[in-house]
A and B are shown apart, each in its own frame.
Chain A
Amino acid sequence: MAVALALVLLATPTLAVRPDEMLANPALEARARELSQGLRCLVCRNENIDDSDAGLARDLRLLVRERLVAGDSDEAAMAFIVDRYGEYVLLSPTLSGSNLLLWLAGPLMLLGGGVIAWVTVRQRAGQPEVAPLSAEDQARLAEMGRDGV
């Protein structure tokens, strides 16, 4: 259900990118598609403008294409849009300020966990091969012996 309900909101009965908005130049169009996949549709939930059917997403798609046709580089076109709509439109958070924490969380955790695991495993490897039996286990063993098992 979880997955389903999430996607209910993503789902659109009509098509996202429409034939009439595509650029004639295939290289530019490919770049526009690429950029669109990194931009969030502002009125949808976690959906990029390339897949969204919302009117605002279409406006953004047209804006991206307009900038590319005007000769903007990918970075300039993205900067243009972020200037106007805020960093909320970026599906991939920038590598700046507090976001560094987000990007580095995985590698740092792997490093930390790796060190802990390594130290623990090394320590354990140094322990005697066979742990001595506990008093309880010895008693059980003695009992088994009596039963002739």
Chain B
Amino acid sequence: MIVELGHFALIVAFVVAILQTVVPMYGASRRDGALMALAGPASVAQFLLIALSFGALTYAFVVSDFSLKLVVENSHTAKPMLYKVAGVWGNHEGSLLLWVLCLSLFGACVHWFGDNLPKTLKARVLSVQASIGVAFLAFMLWTSNPFLRLASPPMNGNDLNPLLQDPGLAFHPPFLYLGYVGLSMAFSFAIAALIEGRVDAAWGRWVRPWTLAAWVFLTIGIAMGSCWAYYELGWGGFWFWDPVENASFMPWLIATALIHSAIVVEKRESLKAWTVLLAILAFGFSLVGTFIVRSGVLTSVHAFATDPQRGMFILAILAVFIGGAMALFAVRAGALEAKGVFAAVSRESALVLNNLLLTVAAFVVFIGTIWPLVAEIVWGRALSVGAPFFDAAFTPFMVVLALVLPIGSAMPWKRAELGRVVRPFRAAFALSVALMLLVYALQTGRSALGPVGVGLSAWVVIGAGMDVWMRTGRGAIGGRFGRLMRLPRADWGRAVAHAGLGITMFGIASMTAWVTEDIRVVKDGETYALGPYEVTLVGVGEVEGPNYTALRADLQVKRDGVEVARLYPEKRDYPVAGMGTTEAAIRQGVADDLYLVIGDPQEGGGWAVRSYIKPFANWLWGGVLIMSLGGFLSLSDRRYRVAAAAARRGVGVPAE
């Protein structure tokens, strides 16, 4: 009964979404207040209906209702509760439901927080947002319905893929989707602005925080996936340049460009057409990602839907929305005239450079991702594009980005004198180069990645520190510290996010350049040396989990004769799912991670053991967290809250 209710709610939501698409758009063109006002309540109704539907599906998973096909395929009674709930979105149909839930949530947010928006703009935004909902709800109802029943329910389910039964992954999709789908908001605003033929500071003031919020979620979501890969896959890799990873990375790069160019729209009323284009591209890449993940076109084997019908449906959605948006852009972009002028050397130009580098980097990832497909179709060449290509073709853009970042963020608006901007950075640059040389001298005969990474990240982090310090003006140290504390949160947010980027770069470079690896056969009681540590295999025993059995090794790690860690890596077997997983045991540290994996028993006794020392691994995740913290800080800036408060009082937001 509850399941049918959920199914019904989904169908009603589809109808509401159609109404919300058509009526407010028509109302806005006729300047009819009553028709436009329908958009708000409709968006809330759509959200509540989809939430009800989502709740019903979650209920079916929680009580293990095996009359539902989806539950049978992705759950089991013995599975821990956390993963029963996470199983809702651990599959194609359920994850789509989460997708449209996020979409309708963002729509409802426009209504809840958008009192200060011009009436026609708000109506058009909600209409465009609902049209995306219509497309995806239709996709769900016709090709991927999560509420299909089975005629003869089995006694138990097939269990969720054991690799997905992990806390990191349980929360990875909601974050990722809030990010992906959050970009739909920027898209809807871009389309509405093109229809209106007007982009102003108020538009930028709306789009920027919401894109920033989506960006923060996307950042955290990607980091969670990467972190999971690090500890779950058994050898400590954290990025594989897999098409599906790239699918989440491309929108991230474009969204990063967008939050920067939206600043120019908001503060200087310039780069309007470009920002609108980026907003379309950001969501476009989200849709491309959805297509890659769910169509199976780029991959012969796939865990998600490989149904060609589904692929065609998403391709059609992609063609209609992005093709339509581009056509609209071509016709209307000319109407978006810029107001603020700026010199060739200025903060605006620096942000243009940032946008250029990020966008081209995203396209490099895009071309690399689809190249095997292109080569096969056009030239009949079967080839692969893997990590070595992306490392070589993508990294240079990030190196240049890091080099210009501190200077760029110190540039004044409108007109700058390069010499004067660069002068205070001479010491910082010298220090970074010195650090680079020091690292080069310390490491002998290793790749250049380490020293370059250290130099660049030091440069970015010191630059971020100088960014806030230079904003305190001149005068006594005490007064400057006081002003430092009173700087707007947006200034802090920018510096913190940039510092986070530098720290992430350091983590990536050091983890890649200085990893220590050891693969060997170890017998019970045997001790081996691993860098500065001695590791002893105390024994291997069997343990029983809720829905798995495991071999667990007991490894003692000593340094200078003192025990520093006792680690228990496992090799699990999930009988229902018919799969195994490796659970690496990791001693996390500030300077390095000790990463131990137990493998197969060997002929002639002993166990295959893989051990790694991953230097500064935590700096990578820490850096990403700091980056998102910067986003949060910027979001919490007083100016946005003032804007929100002003909106409640019914006063328009003054454009700066």
Contact = CB atoms under 8 A, between A and B. Distances in A.
Interface in B332-371: 337-339, 341-344, 348-349, 352-353, 356-357, 359-361, 363-364, 367-368, 371
B384 A8 contact: no
Count class of interface residues, chain A = 35 or more
B20 to A, nearest CB: 27
A40 B384 contact: yes
Contacts of A122: 344
Interface string A36-60: 0110100001111001000000000
A93 B243 CA distance: 16
Given A2-B293, A19-B519, A109 B248 contact: no
Contacts of B270: 124
B384 A89 contact: yes
Contacts of A47: 240
A144 to B, nearest CB: 11
B367 A129 contact: no
B234 A37 contact: no
Interface in A110-149: 110, 113-114, 117-118, 121-122, 124-125, 127-129, 131
A76 interface: no
Band of interface residues on B = 35 or more
B172 A110 contact: no
B376 to A, nearest CB: 10
B242 A121 contact: no
A109 B378 contact: no
A41 B368 CA distance: 18
A84 to B, nearest CB: 14
A48 B378 contact: no
B448 to A, nearest CB: 15
Contacts of B301: 9, 45
Contacts of A91: 384-389
A89 B226 CA distance: 25
A14 interface: yes
B228 interface: yes
B312 interface: no
A37 to B, nearest CB: 7
A125 B164 contact: no
B383 A87 contact: yes
Contact of B579 (A13, A93, A121): A13
B352 A106 contact: no
Given A109-B360, A113-B359, A124-B341, A87 B244 contact: no
B588 interface: no
A121 B582 contact: no
Given A10-B233, A91-B386, A106-B360, A15 B600 contact: yes
Contacts of B226: 3
Contacts of A125: 341-344
Contacts of A105: 363-364, 367
A12 B229 CA distance: 12
Q: Taking each of A5, A19, A51, A125, which has the highest tally of chain B beta carbons within 10 Å of its own beta carbon?
A: A5
A6 B392 contact: no
Interface in B196-249: 222, 225-226, 228-229, 232-235, 237, 240-245, 247-248
Contacts of B237: 51
B342 A4 contact: no
Nearest to A89: B384
B580 interface: yes
Contacts of A131: 337, 339, 341
Nearest to B375: A98
Interface of B: 89-90, 95, 161, 163-164, 169, 172-173, 176-177, 222, 225-226, 228-229, 232-235, 237, 240-245, 247-248, 270, 289, 293, 299-304, 337-339, 341-344, 348-349, 352-353, 356-357, 359-361, 363-364, 367-368, 371, 375, 378-379, 381-389, 392-394, 397, 519-521, 571-573, 579-582, 597, 599-600, 602, 608, 610
